Amino acid sequence: MKFSESLKETAKHSWELSLNHPFVQGIVNGDLPLETFKNYIMQDIYYLKHYGKIHAFAAAHADDFSLVSKLADKARRTAEAELTVHNEHARILKITDEDIENFKPAPTAYAYTSHLYRAALSGNLAEIVAAMLPCYWLYADIGLQNKDAKPGVEIYENWIGTYASEWFQTSTNEMIDLLDELAEKASGDEKEKIKEQFIIAKEYELAFWEMSYTFESWLSEQKKIKETI
């Protein structure tokens, strides 16, 4: 078993919960309220801004120039994906520039990106890649598992199609292969650190669905709402 496969096996329960989360199944079945998807997209726009920067951190940690170039290119593609979200999803979901300018991330979105920065600032290249990988791998699995789904909602069909696409599957496999290559040179203690980064990031992926589905907010905001009822 490859090192990456052992990581995924360790996260099996969390992985299955993610694949079958009501948020994901709502997209697949076409019955997720668009307002819920809009909440997710707003959080994801925030996430992608930082996710792209983490790729740049990873590129800065790489010694091989071809790898630096590859990771830098992935940072560029992430930025382009963000623009696609802005231009396509924002139009359909009627997200305004003012909405984006005034947006504040939910606790989970803030914590997840903070975890990525911690990996980038305190870890080595393998740890950074491990922290980034669950996002690639989980979405790729969702795309493959549901590639023949017909939710009947254009924005949901496009979302599934993006992650089922050959380019995204290829990009994901490149990141998996990179982690396995880096892990071959890692000591036992280093592999444990790599594993920890991967597992925590995977838990945040699951939490991201729940955050989006339940419209998670900061505790003070929840209390303020209750006080007005």
Choice among 205, 216, 221, 227 that is catalytic: 205
Choice among 82, 127, 135, 216 that is catalytic: 135
CA distances from 55 to 38, 132, 146, 217 (A): 25, 8, 27, 28
- Rounded CA Rg of the chain: 18
Q: Report the greatest alpha carbon distance in the chain.
A: 59
DSSP string across 183-215 = HHT--HHHHHHHHHHHHHHHHHHHHHHHHHHHT
Nearest partner of 3 among 208, 179, 143, 165, judged by Cα: 179
Q: Does the annotation count 135 as an active-site position?
A: yes
CA distance 142 to 97: 30
Q: What angle do CA 189, 193, 197 make, to 5 degrees?
A: 165
CA distances from 19 to 24, 76, 80 (A): 7, 27, 26
CA distance 102 to 127: 33
Q: Does the annotation count 196 as an active-site position?
A: no
Q: Which residues are tagged catalytic? A: 135, 205
